[in-house]
């Protein structure tokens, strides 16, 4: 449905949105060197603020009695689990005992690793059954809506003219038909899970992501003028790109990881820093480092703060635009918004664990303490008589620990909560202009009062953290220093993703050769570096002068091409270790890449460029694998291996 507004209202919204961009963006850009740069969400899913019962446990604990302490803390933990399980019955399998649930998922992962080591995330996740049934039902309703819209547009004058003059369908008819095809594909995939009563963990996550994208496909048109303008800032921060329906269909066909679509913009520095560690952890094949819960349930602040100490991350799928933190996000954008927040939270809690060198026992104790501190915060907040201050304390607490992702630990709050105060005020201004609050007045004065209340709250508990660590906490200045610094550049990652989504031709120039064509898939190593390229059509191999190599043009690779790239760790021929220069045609060859890719085959030809540099190895038969998964099989014919260590430049849309 489109909103009908008078000219005065429309003009007001346009000027208000433009004024926000003029005033707020400089504030967002100002603290790029500080922590907590990005204005994050105030309430994910729904604006449900928890007000627990007044009789929540507030244990009088002391480190002098560790067994009593643990008993009191665990009692509080069980109590909070019970409260959340009753509040969110559809997610009771998580809230009954988050740590037990994580351990169960890890056991499933380890069992599946024995069966499918190339992807242990294929273990059964039966808890997703209700969610999959729910989105299947919603897709049925969506399909019915699309059919009604299709009939309407078929009868339109525009379609009749297009049909009679051009013998084509109008663009709305064509688009809706393709969306119906997309919906049908998702429905069939879900039906397969339902019929087999098997819900692979990885596939449930992917299905919810693609469901979110298609449900949000038309929803951008429903946003009012303010959101139409400000959404570009939001999409840039969260690394979300809108695609046409053809690109959406291609993306669903590839079914690549939904953890990251493209890198987030430079405005959200921490999101960019957190992306790689979060994605690496998700793609690990040796261990299940954290658990993603794809959910269609609207959650309030209590749910997010309850799982804050645990390796659990909720990602939300929605069939309607959701208003939160001053933005109204359609499906796929809302999902990516959750990804960025959860990545930020993951980075910070793990930076703390690494900086303090927490033992397993200390980590468990800290988790229980974080639950206790949250219970005590709720009691403290509910005791505040001033309604304005109470709302500010609650808002700033949630903003700090969920939106900004700072762990609910005394030293973490005390060291980092003030760094992004300019961003916080811009965030409040944006919320007000978007019609989403905030719920209190006199922002600057009230925020300062709230900060004093929370500072006192955490200062009173700092000795408990120090006692647990048996030392003063390490002050973390830069989150990224606790993670590898080899982030992929924006140009490489973004352009490769864009090439796959848009299906525009791309030229990839490496240190030794080049390749030009329509890219369909890229595999990455754990450092986020491309290790395998696959093209669907119009492909040719190039020399360093970017000229087509002999017998490597469109006539040979016009229907597609694939090859590993990266550093070679070893080459064997006839059972002996050799170098590239020692390769002989007609011999059996084994090539091992540092990425783990292995190639075995009979070398039939070596191709050199004009200056005599070895560029391509042609195998009459070849078997290419990565961790046991076939990338190229001998029965597919001859194989041309381009020799390339790293990508040096990319050019999209030739």
Q: What are phi and psi of 385, to 5 degrees?
A: -85, -35
- 445-457 mean pLDDT: 92
* CA gap 296, 293 in Å, rounded: 10
Q: Is 435:52 a contact under the CB 8 Å cutoff?
A: no
Over its C-alpha atoms, the chain yields an Rg (Å, rounded) of 27
- At 507, which helix (H) or strand (E)? strand 506-510
Q: Is 352:34 a contact under the CB 8 Å cutoff?
A: no
Q: Is 108:124 a contact under the CB 8 Å cutoff?
A: yes
Q: Supply the mean pLDDT for the chain.
A: 83
Those residues whose C-beta lies under 8 Å from the C-beta of residue 260, and which sit 6 or more positions away, are 239, 275, 279, 339
* CA gap 508, 271 in Å, rounded: 27
Confidence of residue 497 (pLDDT cuts 50, 70, 90): confident
pLDDT of 358 > 60? The answer is: yes
Q: What is the model's pLDDT at position 29?
A: 38
pLDDT of 144 > 50? The answer is: yes
pLDDT of 246 > 50? The answer is: yes
Long-range contacts of 59-66 (CB under 8 A, 24+ apart): 59/372, 61/372, 61/464, 63/464, 63/467, 63/468
Task: Produce one character per residue of 299-326: b if its CB has 16 or more CB atoms within 10 Å, e if not.
Answer: bbbbbbbbbbbbbbbbbbbbbebbbbbb
Paired with 606 in beta bridges are 617
* CA gap 115, 20 in Å, rounded: 54
pLDDT of 372 > 60? The answer is: yes
Q: Is 233:21 a contact under the CB 8 Å cutoff?
A: yes
Those residues whose C-beta lies under 8 Å from the C-beta of residue 24, and which sit 6 or more positions away, are 426, 429, 430
pLDDT of 324 > 90? The answer is: no
Q: What tokens appear for 272 in the block?
A: 């960019």
pLDDT of 277 > 70? The answer is: yes
pLDDT of 42 > 70? The answer is: no
Q: What are phi and psi of 312, to 5 degrees?
A: -125, 140
Q: What is the model's pLDDT at position 70?
A: 64
Q: What is the model's pLDDT at position 439?
A: 76
pLDDT of 3 > 60? The answer is: no
Those residues whose C-beta lies under 8 Å from the C-beta of residue 167, and which sit 6 or more positions away, are none
**Torsion sign, CA atoms 224, 230, 233, 238:** negative
Highest mean pLDDT among 153-167, 168-182, 353-367: 353-367
The percentage of the chain sitting over the pLDDT mark of 70, rounded to a whole number, equals: 86
The percentage of the chain sitting over the pLDDT mark of 90, rounded to a whole number, equals: 50
- 85-110 mean pLDDT: 95
- 68-95 mean pLDDT: 85
pLDDT of 159 > 90? The answer is: no
From 60-64, 156-160, 405-409, the region with the lowest mean pLDDT: 60-64
Q: What is the model's pLDDT at position 177?
A: 93
pLDDT of 59 > 70? The answer is: no
pLDDT of 19 > 60? The answer is: no
Confidence of residue 420 (pLDDT cuts 50, 70, 90): low
Q: Is 338:451 a contact under the CB 8 Å cutoff?
A: no
pLDDT of 287 > 60? The answer is: yes
Kindly report the number of other CB atoms within 10 A of residue 567's CB atom: 12
166 vs 270, which has greater pLDDT? 270
- 428-435 mean pLDDT: 82
Confidence of residue 233 (pLDDT cuts 50, 70, 90): confident
Q: What tokens appear for 155 in the block?
A: 């009868």
pLDDT of 216 > 70? The answer is: yes
585 vs 529, which has greater pLDDT? 585
From 155-164, 346-355, 403-412, 435-444, the region with the lowest mean pLDDT: 155-164
Confidence of residue 648 (pLDDT cuts 50, 70, 90): confident
For residue range 175-187, list pLDDT tens digits in order. 999 999 999 999 9
Confidence of residue 9 (pLDDT cuts 50, 70, 90): very low
Residue recorded with tokens 């080591």: 117
23 vs 504, which has greater pLDDT? 504
Q: What is the model's pLDDT at position 31?
A: 34
- 633-637 mean pLDDT: 91
266 vs 278, which has greater pLDDT? 278
pLDDT of 263 > 80? The answer is: no
Would you list the DSSP string of 218-274?
Answer: TGGGGS-HHHHHHHHHHHHHHT-----HHHHHHHHHHT--SS-SSPPPTTSHHHHHH
From 207-216, 444-453, 476-485, the region with the lowest mean pLDDT: 476-485
* CA gap 391, 397 in Å, rounded: 10
Paired with 640 in beta bridges are 618
């Amino acid at each position: 449905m489109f909103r009908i507004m008078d000219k005065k209202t429309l003009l007001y919204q346009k000027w208000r949105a433009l004024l926000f961009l003029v005033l707020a963006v400089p504030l967002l850009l100002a603290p790029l060197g500080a922590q907590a740069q990005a204005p994050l969400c105030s309430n994910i899913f729904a604006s449900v603020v928890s007000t627990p019962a007044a009789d929540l446990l507030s244990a009088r604990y002391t480190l002098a009695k560790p067994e009593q302490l643990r008993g009191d803390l665990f009692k509080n933990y069980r109590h909070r689990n019970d409260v959340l399980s009753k509040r969110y019955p559809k997610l009771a399998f998580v809230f009954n005992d988050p740590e037990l649930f994580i351990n169960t998922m890890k056991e499933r992962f380890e069992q599946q690793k024995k069966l499918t080591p190339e992807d242990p995330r294929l273990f059964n996740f039966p808890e997703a059954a209700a969610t999959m049934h729910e989105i299947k039902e919603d897709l049925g309703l969506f399909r019915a809506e699309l059919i009604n819209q299709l009939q309407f547009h078929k009868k339109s004058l525009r379609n009749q003219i297009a049909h009679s003059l051009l013998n084509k369908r109008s663009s709305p008819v064509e688009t809706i038909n393709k969306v119906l095809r997309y919906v049908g594909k998702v429905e069939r995939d879900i039906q397969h899970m339902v019929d087999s009563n098997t819900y692979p963990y990885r596939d449930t996550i992917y299905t919810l992501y693609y469901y979110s994208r298609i449900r949000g496909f038309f929803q951008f048109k429903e946003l009012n003028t303010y959101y139409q303008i400000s959404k570009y800032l939001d999409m840039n921060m969260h690394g979300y790109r809108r695609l046409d329906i053809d690109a959406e269909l291609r993306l669903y066909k590839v079914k690549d990881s939904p953890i990251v679509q493209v890198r987030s913009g430079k405005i959200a520095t921490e999101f960019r820093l957190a992306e790689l560690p979060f994605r690496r952890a998700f793609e690990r094949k040796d261990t299940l480092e954290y658990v993603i819960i794809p959910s269609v349930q609207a959650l309030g602040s209590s749910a997010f703060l309850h799982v804050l100490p645990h390796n659990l991350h909720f990602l939300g799928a929605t069939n309607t635009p959701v208003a939160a933190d001053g933005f109204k996000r359609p499906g796929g954008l809302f999902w990516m918004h959750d990804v960025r927040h959860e990545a930020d939270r993951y980075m910070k809690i793990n930076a703390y664990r690494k900086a303090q060198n927490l033992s397993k026992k200390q980590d468990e104790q800290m988790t229980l303490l974080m639950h206790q501190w949250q219970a005590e915060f709720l009691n403290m907040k509910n005791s505040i008589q001033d309604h304005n201050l109470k709302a500010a304390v609650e808002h700033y607490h949630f903003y700090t620990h969920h939106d900004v992702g700072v762990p609910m630990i005394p030293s973490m709050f005390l060291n980092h909560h003030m760094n992004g105060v300019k961003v916080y005020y811009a965030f409040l201004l944006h919320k007000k202009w978007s019609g989403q609050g905030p719920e209190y007045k006199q922002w600057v004065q009230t925020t300062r009062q709230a900060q004093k209340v929370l500072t006192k709250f955490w200062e009173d508990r700092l000795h408990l953290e120090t006692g647990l660590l048996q030392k003063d906490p390490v002050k973390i200045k830069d989150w990224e220093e606790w993670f590898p610094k080899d982030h992929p550049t924006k140009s490489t990652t973004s352009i490769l993703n864009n090439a796959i989504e848009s299906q525009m031709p791309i030229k990839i120039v490496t240190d030794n050769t080049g390749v030009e064509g329509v890219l369909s898939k890229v595999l990455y190593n754990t450092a986020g570096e491309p290790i395998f390229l696959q093209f669907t059509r119009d492909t040719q191999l190039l020399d360093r002068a970017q000229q087509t190599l002999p017998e490597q043009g469109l006539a040979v690779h016009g229907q597609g091409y694939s090859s590993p790239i990266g550093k070679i760790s070893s080459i064997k021929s006839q059972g002996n270790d050799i170098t590239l220069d020692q390769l002989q045609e007609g011999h059996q060859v084994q090539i091992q890449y540092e990425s783990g890719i292995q190639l075995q085959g009979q070398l039939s030809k070596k191709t050199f460029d004009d200056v005599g540099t070895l560029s391509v190895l042609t195998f009459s038969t070849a078997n290419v694998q990565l961790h046991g998964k076939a990338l190229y099989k001998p029965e597919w014919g001859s194989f041309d291996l381009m020799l390339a260590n790293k990508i040096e430049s990319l050019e999209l849309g030739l």
